[in-house]
Structures are given as structure tokens and as C-alpha cells.
Structure 1
């Protein structure tokens, strides 16, 4: 495979990939945490802006747009509320990004090997490796994703007092399956998302590198390619993300979150059907605007930080080799 296509998979040791991926996840997660809380609150809001769809007649705060939701959270819950669920989310992003990049790197090397009886084109390698990496990382780290969603969905009344008490309560009340609510929707989303993201990214990167436009403000051509790829892929698969969030807050604590009128959903198709019936097509795309706003800095910071961290690690390795010689 041409070295011009992407740097994510063709250089660096497994250890370097893990360290760079974990660093990228940590930095990007902290930067976009407030937007993530806003997105989750909007996705779980089942009533329309006119409150005509309030479940069982319960009327809860209606969030309107990104700025309106931010202001309401700040007024009602304070600044720290914008980082609710950040502890499990940091663990999620650290482990997820590390697993994602190392799995993508390994899978790409295998699929591009000259020892295989067939030859895949670069786009096919990117799609398969990206989808596989996303599935492995999502399944392995899913309990942290569920905890992040439930903490972000909490209002002033605490459902879980802390991370460990939350784990204990879910285990006691819901069993192990409680940590994996919505996993089917997550994997159904991540397979096409990661495949499309890496395909778009690797296709765009050489094109953007060749453009004469000044892209430093976007974090270089790598960051720009990551932004465009993420926005395109996320828009395509977004309904499954909404389904995942709504399934994650099912269970005995369903009526205790900031939105006390969350219906009881069952399965991916059942959630999609009920959402379309009650809220229309807009319901499954609720929160898309903030998701796209979040996707841009997340992808740009993640990809840019990963490649810069990898560069630092390679320079340190080269310096050590020169010293040894």
C-alpha cells in the first residue's frame, strides 16, 4: 500500500500506536465533553418543542438548540454539569481510541500483506479494517459508554452517586446484560461509520494535502480530512446513535433522569418504529446539529493529536537509536 494514503496504519510499533491513540482520545474527549452532554440531553428528549408529545403527561424542561441547552444546563445545574459522565468517558475514549487505532493498524497490515491470495484495493482495506476496529473497540468498552450516557442524563437528582456505586447498582438491579443495553445498535452504527470514516479520510487526505488553501487553522490537511470524513459518515448513521442512547437509559432507573418521560423501548427496530410514530422523522435525528458540531473538533483533535504524538514517539525512538550507536 502506498505510504501517501495514510499514516495511521503504515508506521510505528504496536506500543507507539497504543500510546498515541490513548493520548488522542484523552485530549479530544475533554475538549468536547460539554457538547457531548448537550447532545445526549437532546437525544433523550422525546417530546416536541411544543410539549405536545409529553409521555404520560409529564412535562420536563424542553431544550432548544445548542446555545439554549447550554444556558439551561448552566442555570439549573452549574458549570460542572457540562462534564457529567466525564470520568467513565475519559476511560472510554482512552481505551477505545487505543483499541481502535491498534486494531485498525494490525488489520490493515494483514489485509495489505503480499502473502494473501488476493489483492484488495486501498478503499476496501480501509473499510474492512475500519469496520473491524470499530466493532472490537465498541464491544470491549461498551459498559463505559453506557455509564457515560447515564451520568450525562442525570439532572440535579442523582441516580448514581459515583462511578463505583453506579457499577454496583447496575450489576445488582440489571445484571451483566444491563451494561450492554443498546450494544446491537452501537455495532450496527459503528461498522458502517468506521468503515466510511476511514475510507473518506484516506481518500480525502492526499487530495486535501494537494490543495493550495491555507488549512493551518483546521489543524493541517490531516485535521481537515478528519473533519469532513467524520461529518459525512456520522450523518449517514446518526439514527442508530439516537437509538443507542435511548436504549442505554432503559431499566429500573428510566424514570429518574432529567427527562422523566422516556418511554420504554425494546430493541433496535422497536425503538426506531416507536420514535417515528411518536416524533416523526425528526425524532431519530434529534441532536444531529450538535453531533456534527462535536464531530468536527473531535475528529480533528483526535487525528491531529494521534499523528503528532506518533511523530514525537518516532523521534524519541530515532534519538535513542543514535545514542546507542
Structure 2
């Protein structure tokens, strides 16, 4: 007789047979795959967020930006900063999933009123996001600058030296406040929405007629996990990114505060006339003054594409690797 119980896909579950080490592996693989797939979108997003408007008051659209990058730097430019990006993704996704699993295990090992479940999952997500932001911000600063001027920040070690030379040890933590304020709620919203949506979708997919005596007997089919995770991941990515986007924009402009272009390193046209910030609140208020309220959402479209792709690929890969490890 097949049990109708199946392990909770993300977060702690007593029925889950996977160890923390196995979930670390799943998180690492999810990060690797997601980073490779979304890297070109990330390059477009960064350059869109940081470039000043042209004299006529217009910004480059995605097509024009893509064309300029291809013409001036070649197709490999879309994977600039990819190696550091991979290290960032492994550390980011692994720490997010691991800390989320650990905190949910700690909380739900006690008797918890079901009505507080969603709120507690959200708080666990905030904890995971805040820890992740602190761990990954130095790599993120190097990666952002490497995308802008690869020669100046070439390689991880030389890039780190260049960042240090620009502003000392504190330069590695430029944008940290915005990153924590953004990633905490963002991860909390992402996991909460995903945890809400995925079981609903799975319940719909596993709905049986009167002949079926075990409604969830096929709950472990990989194609169902992929579909449910893709839809839930897509929705959670859009919701979380849209809510926290102004902080994302400010973070990128803060991360290049100490960056100084050097004549011996030729910067492409898409990496010139950059918008820099030194203070979070002033960055947001100045953006509204100069670009209007919707200036806080410049680059949102490509960010939504990126968020969808990242959430779908990361959650789906994570779930599928967990499925394979359970087998």
C-alpha cells in the first residue's frame, strides 16, 4: 500500500529522508544552473540600472543595449563576471536554502499554531536572506564592477585588489544596507509565496476521481514536481522582485560608489556615465527628483524576466535534485 504522504518540497518536514548535506548539494546545483542560464539577463539588468539617461532624456531599451554590447564587446560580454557569479550563486542559494531549512526545522520542532505558520515561514526567509546578503556582498561588489569594466577588475583576486584600492575594506560592503533590507524581505516573500502556491498546484495536479483510492500516490512524479515548482517559482519571483525593486536599484548604484574609471582601461559606452550613490536614502530621493517615481523601477522588465528565470530554474533544479537523491 502506497502512503499518501509526501515530503514538503522546501522547508523542514519530518517525513523528508534527505540529510542537510544532501540539501546543501541540491542548493549548490540549483545555484550553478540558474546562474549560467540567467547571466546574460543579469548583465543587461546591471547596465540598465546604472546608466544615466541620454541628453535627449531617453534610456537605451533592451534591444539597443543588447546591440551595443554585441557590437562593442562581443557575445562573451554577456558572461562577464560569470565565474565570480557562479561562486556568488553557490554561496547565495546554498546559504538561503540551508539557513531556511535549519530555521524552519528549529521553529517547527515545537508545537506551532497553524495560523502562524505562514508568518513564521516568512520570518525564516528574512533570516535566510539577511545572512545571505552579508555573506555574499563582497563577491557581488567585485562581480558588478567586473561586468562594467572587465579589464580593470579582471579575475577574482585582481578584482578584489582593485576594489580594495578604490576604497579599502569598506568598499567590499558598499550597498550592504540596501542588500540586507532588500534580500531579507525578498527571500521571505519568495519562500512564503512558493510554500503557499506549490502545495496548491500539487493538490490540483494530483486530484483523482472516485476510482483513485490514494489521491497523492503519484506525488513524487518528476514531471509534476517540475511543473508545480516552475509555476510557483515564477509567481514568487515576480512578487518578491517587484516589491523590493527600488532597493535593488539603489544597491547597484551604491556598489560602484568608490569605482573610479582609469584611462588605461577602456570602458565600453554602456559602462560610461554611470549613476553612483553614497547614501541609501539620498539615492532613492535623488532618483525620484531626477527621474520621477518610476525611475525607481528602471530596468524592472528585464529584472522580472531574470527573476522568473532564476526562480523557475533554481526551485525546479533544487526539487529535481532532491527527487533524484531520494531515489
Aligned to 1:16: 22
Match of 1:238 among 232, 245, 258: 245
Aligned to 2:230: 223
Counterparts of 2:145 and 2:271, CA distance in 1: 11
Output the TM-score relative to the length of structure 2: 0.84
Aligned to 1:56: none
Aligned to 2:142: 147
Counterparts of 1:212 and 1:310, CA distance in 2: 20
Unaligned runs of 5+ in 1: 54-61, 316-325
Counterparts of 1:98 and 1:4, CA distance in 2: 20
Match of 2:77 among 72, 78, 81: 81
CA contact (8 A) 1:209 1:221 kept: yes
Equivalent residue of 2:10, what SS? coil
Aligned to 1:57: none
1:75: Cα distance to partner?
1.3
CA contact (8 A) 1:134 1:194 kept: yes
Equivalent residue of 1:211, what SS? helix
Aligned to 1:251: 258
Counterparts of 2:185 and 2:306, CA distance in 1: 19
1:254: Cα distance to partner?
5.7
Aligned to 2:39: 33
Match of 2:126 among 131, 143, 157: 131
The verdict on how the C-alpha distance between 1:125 and 1:5 changes in structure 2, with shifts beyond 3 A counting, is: farther
Unaligned runs of 5+ in 2: 207-221
Equivalent residue of 2:149, what SS? coil
Match of 1:272 among 267, 280, 284: 284
1:292: Cα distance to partner?
0.4
CA contact (8 A) 1:5 1:205 kept: no
1:212: Cα distance to partner?
5.5
1:210: Cα distance to partner?
3.2
Counterparts of 2:287 and 2:261, CA distance in 1: 16
Counterparts of 1:264 and 1:95, CA distance in 2: 27
Instruction: Count residues in correspondence.
Output: 300
Output the TM-score relative to the length of structure 1: 0.85
Counterparts of 1:147 and 1:128, CA distance in 2: 29
1:122: Cα distance to partner?
1.9
Q: Does 1:63 align with 2:60?
A: yes
Equivalent residue of 2:271, what SS? coil
1:305: Cα distance to partner?
0.6
1:68: Cα distance to partner?
2.7
1:225: Cα distance to partner?
0.3
1:128-207 equivalent positions in 2, closer than 5 A: 128-154=123-149, 158-207=151-200
CA contact (8 A) 2:141 2:173 kept: yes
The verdict on how the C-alpha distance between 1:20 and 1:218 changes in structure 2, with shifts beyond 3 A counting, is: closer
CA contact (8 A) 1:104 1:132 kept: yes
Match of 1:108 among 85, 104, 110: 104
Counterparts of 1:36 and 1:93, CA distance in 2: 12
1:302-313 equivalent positions in 2, closer than 5 A: 302-313=314-325
1:80: Cα distance to partner?
0.3
1:7: Cα distance to partner?
3.5
Aligned to 1:52: 57
Match of 1:122 among 88, 96, 117: 117
Q: What are the superposed Cα offsets for residues 202-235 of structure 1, whole Å, 9 maximum, x if unpaired?
A: 111122223359x969941111101101101110
1:6: Cα distance to partner?
3.7
The verdict on how the C-alpha distance between 1:274 and 1:103 changes in structure 2, with shifts beyond 3 A counting, is: same
